[in-house]
Structure 1
Amino acid sequence: MTDPAWCYRASAAAFLVLASSGQTLAADCAPEPQGEGRVAAVVDGRSLRLEDGREVRLAGIERGGTDRASGRAALSAIAAGREVTLHGEDDSPDRYGRQGAFVFVAGSEHSVQSELLRRGEALVSGDISEKNCAAALAAAENAARDAKLGIWAETTAIKNSESPGDILAAIGHFTVVEGRVLSVRQAGAMTYLNFGRNWTRDFAATISRRIIPAFEGAGLGPKWLENRRIRVRGVVSSRGGPRIELFRVGQVEVLGGK
């Protein structure tokens, strides 16, 4: 019987190859048009305000690290004062009134998200379910990481799961953590991927019971991840030790076998 996890990883690899070929991000990450406008202001590292008053949140990326000024400057250099088009599956505003979208500066075939990722000024959020688009964003991030640009110039860009103190320093920030899952346990409605032996001090990634079927469907069930080296991304919180809650399969990257 074919291992579903192997199928998932092979599929993901195929998408990465596709994304790094001659195809552009414009083809991969431009869903339905949501309108256009001129950028009046850059709110922060991943938010724009248009002249008509709409606030746009860049979909698919997060600002890594704690240097907010750098993120805003990078986005300003790309989009400030420019005519842009918006693309997305849903133009409904979030609870803060922001419209999530992929943004393209007039005349560019690459999204603003792609440009920020390629410069090492953003991290893939892992919340894009469309496979071609997710793979294209991952390829852009990988290119910056390989070239050690922006965020990736720092040796601490990826936190080591064996250093919980370093991860705790990033509480409230979107962070990438790498390490080996030493054990998996369930407590109530939450499953814990433990990266250390001390459950009250060491780093763990958590998955809600209602999310487990999505991970299992992708061949990434918690028990399968046990004793594997993985990379997880998300916002760091603290419940004893540092924690990252996993809401989507895209937040997990398997780095190797057992």
Structure 2
Amino acid sequence: MTGHEEASSRNATLEVKQEHNATSPGHVARLLYSIVATLLLASHTALATPCQFESQGEGRVAAIVDARSVRLDDGREIRLTGIEPTATTKQALTSLLAGRDVTLRGTDDTPDRYGRQGALVFIGESDTPVQSMLLAQGDALVSAEISDKDCAAALMASEAAARRQKNGSWADPSAIKNAESPDDILAGMGHFVVVEGKILSVRQAGAMTYLNFGRNWTRGFAATISKRTLPAFESAGITLKSLENKRVRVRGWVEGNTGPRIDVRLVGQIELLGANEPTGIRP
């Protein structure tokens, strides 16, 4: 056999071995593992982006109706879910959305009693909802109405970042009310406010549970939780009695006559503050 023939024979043998290796069970298994790993990674990446609910349609913003509602060019009125407005929300909303093409996402597109469709609003192809943008600028407050844990956490994180940086409304020293100053809270009657303080006692009276922040139960600030709301806290693994002597942040609408009250209807209205977590700005 000549040198050329020997070289050709070796190459042919190598090609046969490579072909055998490519079709061997071990190689196929490794290839399948690689494909599955790639698909799982892509799936995880997609799921890692919060608030990506089912699309509820698209449209162009024709008008800013109020601080939390816009009208699309097809006539639909959209209420931005997940936030409560501040004094600067409407102006910020106008800057962000006027004349823009948007995508709507949510879990339920049933109009409310005012005919508004609730949704998370995304500008163009963005994967960040406008609600998060407003919260990060300090131009809105989290309403706690989003039940999806990942999306709710993302909205809270946007608000927390604005709070730390004193953006927008958080630059105001009275942005967070002190639970030890009930008169300041009562001054916000009929408004959505954020209150921080320590729960001194948890008492039940009839169908209502009171989280008392003051020793004077009549005049001190309290968060009230009705019996029908208890299952939601139980599902979240929260025992109300365990909140005694805990520092919390409560958000909601202020009501009451002698002492200020916030009616807690959603678990997300109460945030447990860590021992080392700094409190917000106090008046």
Pairwise TM-score range, normalised by the shorter structure: 0.7 to 0.9
Label 1:139 to 1:49 Cα distance change in 2 as closer, same or farther (>3 A): same
SS in 2 for 1:196: coil
Counterpart of 1:116 in structure 2 is 134
User: Residue 221 of structure 2 corresponds to which residue in structure 1?
Assistant: 203
For the 8 Å contact 1:26–1:111, the answer to whether it is kept is: no
Give how far 1:25 is off: 10
Question: Who wins on radius of gyration, i.e. which is larger?
Answer: 2
Q: Per-residue displacement from partner, 1:51-95 (whole Å, max 9, x unpaired)?
A: 12211111111114xx2xx21101000001111110111110011
- CA deviations over 1:74-124 (Å, ceiling 9, x no partner): 100000111111011111001111110000111433111011011010111
| Per-residue CA distance 1:188-233 (angstroms, 9 max, x = gap) | 2111101001122111000001111221332322201111111111
Runs of 4+ in 1 over 2 A off after TM superposition: 23-27
Alpha-carbon deviations, 1:110-149, whole Å to 9, x = none? 1110110110101111121111111111111111111110
Query: Of residues 82, 85, 95 in structure 2, which corresponds to 1:77?
Result: 95
Tell me the C-alpha RMSD between the 2 structures.
1.7
Structure 1 gaps, min length 5: 1-22
TM-score (normalised: structure 1): 0.85
User: How far has the Cα of 1:256 moved from its partner?
Assistant: 3.1
Match of 2:232 among 194, 198, 214: 214
Letter in 1 for 2:248: I
* 2:153 is the counterpart of 1:135: yes
Residue number in structure 2 paired with 1:89 = 107
Alignment correspondent of 2:180: 162
The secondary structure found in structure 1 opposite 2:256 is strand
Cα deviation, 1:3-52, whole Å, max 9, x if unaligned, reads xxxxxxxxxxxxxxxxxxxx799921120110111111112221111112
Q: Is the 8 A contact 2:209 2:227 kept in 1?
A: yes
CA distance in 2, matches of 1:122, 1:25: 26
Question: Structure 1: how far apart are the matches of 2:244 and 2:114?
Answer: 38
> AA paired with 2:54?
E
CA distance in 2, matches of 1:123, 1:130: 17
Superposition pairs of residues 185-200 of structure 1, within 5 angstroms:
185-200=203-218
- d(CA) in 2 for partners of 1:38, 1:186: 50
Who is 1:40 aligned against? Answer: 62
Q: Which amino acid aligns with 1:39?
A: V
| TM-score after normalising by structure 2 | 0.78
Residue correspondences, number: 231
- Show structure 2 runs of 5+ residues with no match: 1-44, 276-283
Q: Which residue of 2 aligns with 1:247?
A: 265
Tell me how far apart the structure 2 counterparts of residues 217 and 248 of structure 1 sit (CA, whole Å). Answer: 12
The percentage of aligned residue pairs carrying the same residue is: 64
| DSSP-derived class of the 1:109 partner | coil
Secondary structure at the counterpart of residue 234 of structure 2: helix
Q: Name whichever structure is richer in helix by fraction.
A: 2
After superposition, the Cα gap between the structure-2 partners of 1:157 and 1:213, relative to the gap in structure 1 and judged at 3 Å, is: same
C-alpha contact (below 8 Å) 1:25/1:136 kept by paired residues: no
The answer for the alignment partner of 1:12 in structure 2 is: none
- Partner of 2:174, secondary structure, is coil
Hey, what's the Cα distance between the residues in 2 that align with 1:256 and 1:49? Answer: 41
SS of equivalent residue, structure 1 residue 213? helix
